[in-house]
Amino acid sequence: MPRFVLLVALSLPLSGCYYLQAAAGQWELTQKREPIGEVLAREETSPELAARLRLVAEARQFAIDELGLPDNDTYRTYADLERDYVMWSVFAAPEFSIEPRTWCFPVAGCVSYRGYFVKESAEREAERLGKKGYDVAVSGVMAYSTLGKFKDPVLSTMMNWDDVRLVAVLFHELAHQVIYVKGDSGFNESFATAVEEFGVQRWLEARGMDAAFGDYQARRAVRGQLSALVAAARTDLEALYALIIDDEEKRARKRARLTALQADIAGSLEEAGREAGGWVTGELDNARLIPMVLYEGRLDEFRALLETCEQRIDCFYERARELAGSEL
């Protein structure tokens, strides 16, 4: 299953049931978090967990000193959730549209997903939307951010990642606290991914881990290939959905294009020596393509901006803020 890092809706929307589960989930995280120093000081803390938490502390300080990321209480604590995912996200799109359904909240603005702390609640929402004719997808989420509003802990769900992936996610999530454009998920995720890439490169260079950076670049290149395949399929689907033809024919053509995309993705991953995972499980639909667009849609634009700034992160943040302001 692909990795999604969600920003919690920070809302609290009008639906009473949704409010209650969101509040209960956030309360659980708050109650379970412990200062990383205290966890490290306990004799019963396993050597493996201790090593992971020391890595988090080192990366957290590097983020402040070298990347200009916020010096606050985010990722200073640890929470053991005793489950595989912190929450589950619901994605939805009309049967004949590539545009995602959105949910709007006071702080986060309009976003193309809805998060639930209880899997069954996410599945019920997906079932409800499916009955309305939407393509739907439910995906487990291992990392979580409130834009620093609730002193986010590092989660047990993140501890099985390799070192580079863990550090990358920390940088990515902290970047959201530098710039966050309300209601523009494409801008926010692509910006944070650009900061993540820059940060990982600097982190590994500082430690003389050139081979590890090569592996990271290879993974990013594969993700870029998948993003290009998804973008091409979405372009074809958009043209298909605009045709004035019988729904059954449109449905058949849609299925053929998505089946071809699934085969292309599986082939690309096999060629790269990577497992296809969730991409080959079940049928693809409009909803399952949404997350890829969020994280990669404008990444090249931000990479170019970083090049314009000659890899100076302060300049990059300034230019990105100007870009964000011009789009408000």
* Closest residue by Cα to residue 109 from 165, 180, 171: 180
Q: Is residue 240 part of a domain?
A: no
**Helices within 247-285 (DSSP H only):** 247-271
Give the model's pLDDT for residue 41: 97
Q: Is residue 227 part of a domain?
A: no
> What pLDDT, in 10s, does the model give residues 104-127?
877 667 888 999 999 999 999 999
Q: Is 317 in contact with 178 (CB distance < 8 Å)?
A: yes
Give the model's pLDDT for residue 183: 81
Confidence band, pLDDT 50/70/90 cuts, at residue 14: very low
Q: How many domains does the chain have?
A: 1
Distance CA 325, CA 322 (A): 5
Q: Is residue 124 part of a domain?
A: yes
Higher pLDDT, 210 or 276: 210
- Residues 6 or more apart whose Cβ sits within 8 Å of residue 130: 136
Across 99-108, 123-132, 148-157, least confident range: 99-108
239 CB neighbour count, 10 Å cutoff: 9
Confidence band, pLDDT 50/70/90 cuts, at residue 76: very high
Give the model's pLDDT for residue 278: 72
Q: Is residue 260 part of a domain?
A: no
DSSP 12-75: --S-HHHHHHHHHHHHHHHHHEEEHHHHHH-TTS-HHHHHHHHHHHHHHHHHHHHH----SSTT
User: 111 has which bridge partners?
Assistant: 103
Q: Is 146 exposed, middle or buried (0-12, 13-18, 19+ CB in 10 A)?
A: buried
- Residues 6 or more apart whose Cβ sits within 8 Å of residue 253: 240
Whether the predicted pLDDT of 6 surpasses 70: no
- Summarize the confidence of residues 124-133 as an average pLDDT: 97
What's the CA angle centered on 254, arms 249 and 260, to 5 degrees? Answer: 130
Domain with 128, as residue range(s), is 5-215+298-326
Q: Is residue 284 part of a domain?
A: no
Within the chain, strands assigned E span 5-7, 33-35, 77-79, 87-94, 103-105, 109-111, 114-116, 134-141, 143-145, 154-155
Give the model's pLDDT for residue 134: 98
Q: Is residue 318 part of a domain?
A: yes
Whether the predicted pLDDT of 244 surpasses 80: yes
Half-sphere exposure of residue 56: CA atoms within 13 angstroms, side-chain side: 30
Q: Is residue 282 part of a domain?
A: no
Give the model's pLDDT for residue 89: 94
- Summarize the confidence of residues 38-45 as an average pLDDT: 97
Which sign, positive or negative, has the C-alpha torsion 90, 283, 4, 111?
negative
Give the model's pLDDT for residue 2: 40
Three-state DSSP at 260 gives helix
Cα-Cα-Cα-Cα dihedral of 158, 296, 68, 161, to 10°?
A: 20
Distance CA 298, CA 313 (A): 18
> What pLDDT, in 10s, does the model give residues 308-325?
999 999 999 999 999 998
Give the model's pLDDT for residue 292: 79
Alpha-carbon separation of residue 269 from 76, 106, 247 (angstroms)? 36, 39, 33
Q: Is residue 119 part of a domain?
A: yes
- Residues 6 or more apart whose Cβ sits within 8 Å of residue 236: 257
Q: Is 327 exposed, middle or buried (0-12, 13-18, 19+ CB in 10 A)?
A: exposed
* Mean pLDDT value across the chain: 90
pTM: 0.88
